[in-house]
Amino acid sequence: MLIALFGRLLQILLIVDAYARAGGGGGYHGGGGYHGGGSFHSSGSSATGDNALGLLVWLIINYPFIGIPLALVVVSILLRGGWQANEIRIDRKIDRGLDMENSLQRVENIRRLREKDPGYDEPGFLARARGAFLAIQEAWSSQDLSRARAFVSDGVFERFGRQIAEQKDLGYRNALSDIQILESEVLGYGVGDRYHSVFVRIKASALDQNVALDDGRVLDGGLDVFEEVWTFLRRPGAKTLARPGLLEGYCPSCGAALSIADAAQCAACKTWVNSGEHDWVLVEITQACEWSVPDPERDVSGWEVLSETDPGLSFESLEDRTAVAFWRWVEARRRQDAAPLRGISSDEFLKGFAFDGTAEMKAAVGAVETVAFEPGSDFDKVHVLVKWEADKLVLEGGAFSPQGRTRKSHFFIFHRKSGVMSDPRAGLRTCRCPSCGAPPESPDAAACSYCGKAFNDGSLSWVLADVVAFGLWRRPDAPPDAPLDQVGLEWGEDLSPVDAVAVLAVAMVADGGADDREKLFLETYAQKRGLNASKTEELIQAAIGKRLDAPRPASGAQAEAILKGLIRMSLADGKVTEAEREMLVSFGQRCGLQEKQTALMIKEERLALLARAKKALAAGPGWGR
């Protein structure tokens, strides 16, 4: 009899579990019941359920030592099933809410943009962006930037120019052919007081080959599929033209065809065309896995103080100037010669510039972000974080030896004499003469050949005063006796996919290595974040080889800030999977946080997202349907 009872008990457990999964992966919508067109009481499983519940009551009365524990198990399963169903509903609401929030923000930004420019048309702009993309690929492959010079910022031009110079030094060019644009879309807009921005995602394929300059033979390469986010900026007063403009190779001011080698100035009307004042200018190209949505309302210490006295001050122009300084700094290290830095660095920085026996090749920038302003009595300062990666070279026996790919972060610190005002007309012309606007006679010139004004005295523009390695930077507002800030807390705000995986990889190998289970979790996490297997393995190997500059929290507050960023990244789709939860808990434990603390942080971030989702859904069309 007991064997028969245990058989019936097993049936009860299976029936109850099926009920618990209804609506959450079970068969609630699979036929019968309310949604199947039949009568609920005609369901065979319902009758079986009635018999099972009757048996459970009978067991409680006649065999309490079996019936009562079994009832507790049944109640637990029902509660668990109800909790799971509720969690699924929350996940779906967050997902829908975030989609609605993005949609509402997009609609609002387009509305604000069209208030200033009624002729703006997204499909039309996207077509222009695709044309600019193809023009850049052609210019890059031919190592001739004249076709693209007019519509790129000084920072982008510096990047391409220095990279091409490096290729020429090494005797090759990177040739792209059979280029196909597979996908393109506008990811979003930024509408600020100083600039409007459009973020365009482009996925393309090409035959990517390195070709020898001397005889044209193919050195290496093959078919490549890549995905990038292009950022275009324009001043709020600019209007969409009824004719071809800057991206098509024509002056947006007078309409003349542009033929520009270096100085982005129209020969006909003398307009500086790449200032952003007249048409869209390309200011950044980011790999999709490195890109995160910029925060239009980011809170940077010292900004309010300086922007009140300098209305023309902008993050965009500062970050473009930092890009110029970065690429010159990389070339100075590669050449073991400070000459590329003369026109943008203070004399004090140049005197102290030393070579440490290392250099980099094939550099790529992941992010440039202003993190702090520091008003002063003689000089004001600005601190800009640059996240980048490159092939590391070590000088051995008079020659450089490759040491693998390395990922780094540096803080570029600029200063400018206090009280100086930014020239709003300069826009994105960030490496022209600050006095007369003329281009430097040579890329390494220290003074203007036209008016004689020094480029690097800080009397009119920001000049590089220091470059501080990650782990040695101190916040401007930190007490004098505070420990060095190993991790800027801005790492804890919005992490890109690569940043998130880099943080986890460093934590994973912190105790000397990673077991297979941890590596599997990390690979699963990376795949969900959109990183391919080769990039993930590259990050893991860089972490093992100590070539990965990612945050290692120096305090509980820093650990929580970074963990919060990882949680937000995990919640990008509204939920945290088990693999992600395991990774987050493991990271927290390595940083001294207990599992329950991590669980509480996940819950708090999720509830905050739920509140945002409810607000967005309430504001959007169709609420309550």
Of 452, 485, 518, the one marking the end of a domain is 485
Residue 86: pLDDT band with limits 50, 70, 90:
low
- Whether 606 is in a domain gets the answer no
- How many angstroms separate the CA atoms of 413 and 402, rounded? 29
When pLDDT is averaged across residues 560-581 and rounded to a whole number, the result is 81
- Whether 111 is in a domain gets the answer no
Asked whether residue 262 carries a pLDDT value surpassing 70, the answer given is no
Asked whether residue 40 carries a pLDDT value surpassing 60, the answer given is no
Q: Are residues 425 and 325 in the same domain?
A: yes
Q: Are residues 160 and 264 in the same domain?
A: yes
Inter-helix orientation angle 533-544/497-508, to 10°: 40
Q: Are residues 179 and 78 in the same domain?
A: no
What per-residue confidence (pLDDT) applies to 411?
94
What per-residue confidence (pLDDT) applies to 33?
36
Q: Are residues 193 and 328 in the same domain?
A: no
Q: Are residues 402 and 313 in the same domain?
A: yes
Domain count, the chain: 4
Q: Are residues 83 and 10 in the same domain?
A: yes
Q: Are residues 261 and 377 in the same domain?
A: no
Stretch among 148-157, 317-326, 543-552 having the lowest mean pLDDT: 543-552
Tokens of 588: 């927290």
Q: Are residues 145 and 267 in the same domain?
A: yes
- Could you tell me which residue, 403 or 551, shows the higher pLDDT? 403
Asked whether residue 405 carries a pLDDT value surpassing 80, the answer given is yes
Inter-helix orientation angle 64-116/2-20, to 10°: 10
- Whether 234 is in a domain gets the answer yes
- Whether 622 is in a domain gets the answer no
Radius of gyration of the chain (CA): 30
What per-residue confidence (pLDDT) applies to 483?
59
- Whether 382 is in a domain gets the answer yes
- How many angstroms separate the CA atoms of 68 and 74, rounded? 10
The rounded percent of the chain whose pLDDT value lies above 90 is 27
Q: Are residues 315 and 457 in the same domain?
A: yes
- Whether 611 is in a domain gets the answer no
What per-residue confidence (pLDDT) applies to 511?
66
The enclosing domain of 268 has a CATH number of 3.10.450.240
Domain containing 270 equals 117-292
- Could you tell me which residue, 363 or 452, shows the higher pLDDT? 363
Residue 120: pLDDT band with limits 50, 70, 90:
very high
* Largest Cα–Cα separation, the chain: 106
Cβ-proximal residues to 124 (8 Å cutoff; 6+ apart), any chain:
240
What per-residue confidence (pLDDT) applies to 260?
64
What per-residue confidence (pLDDT) applies to 101?
75
When pLDDT is averaged across residues 340-367 and rounded to a whole number, the result is 90
Stretch among 131-145, 334-348, 440-454 having the lowest mean pLDDT: 440-454
Asked whether residue 373 carries a pLDDT value surpassing 50, the answer given is yes
Tens of pLDDT along 182-221? 999 999 998 888 889 999 999 999 999 999 999 999 999 9
When pLDDT is averaged across residues 153-175 and rounded to a whole number, the result is 91
Asked whether residue 22 carries a pLDDT value surpassing 70, the answer given is no
- Whether 135 is in a domain gets the answer yes
**358 DSSP 8-state letter:** E
What per-residue confidence (pLDDT) applies to 296?
60
Asked whether residue 624 carries a pLDDT value surpassing 70, the answer given is no
- Whether 619 is in a domain gets the answer no
Q: Are residues 377 and 480 in the same domain?
A: yes
- How many angstroms separate the CA atoms of 592 and 590, rounded? 6
When pLDDT is averaged across residues 573-597 and rounded to a whole number, the result is 84
Of 432, 453, 485, the one marking the end of a domain is 485
Asked whether residue 384 carries a pLDDT value surpassing 50, the answer given is yes
Q: List phi, psi (to 5°) of 504.
A: -70, -35
What per-residue confidence (pLDDT) applies to 480?
65
Of 292, 323, 347, the one marking the end of a domain is 292
What per-residue confidence (pLDDT) applies to 137?
94
Task: Name which of 436, 458, 462, 128 is nearest 272 in CA terms.
Answer: 436
CB atoms within 10 A of CB 60: 14
Q: Are residues 330 and 193 in the same domain?
A: no
Tens of pLDDT along 527-547? 888 888 888 888 888 888 888
Tens of pLDDT along 273-289? 777 888 999 999 988 88
- Could you tell me which residue, 240 or 433, shows the higher pLDDT? 240
3-state class of 76 per DSSP? helix
Residue 481: CA count within 13 A, CB half-sphere: 0
Q: What is the pTM of this model?
A: 0.79
CB atoms within 10 A of CB 408: 19
Q: Are residues 271 and 385 in the same domain?
A: no
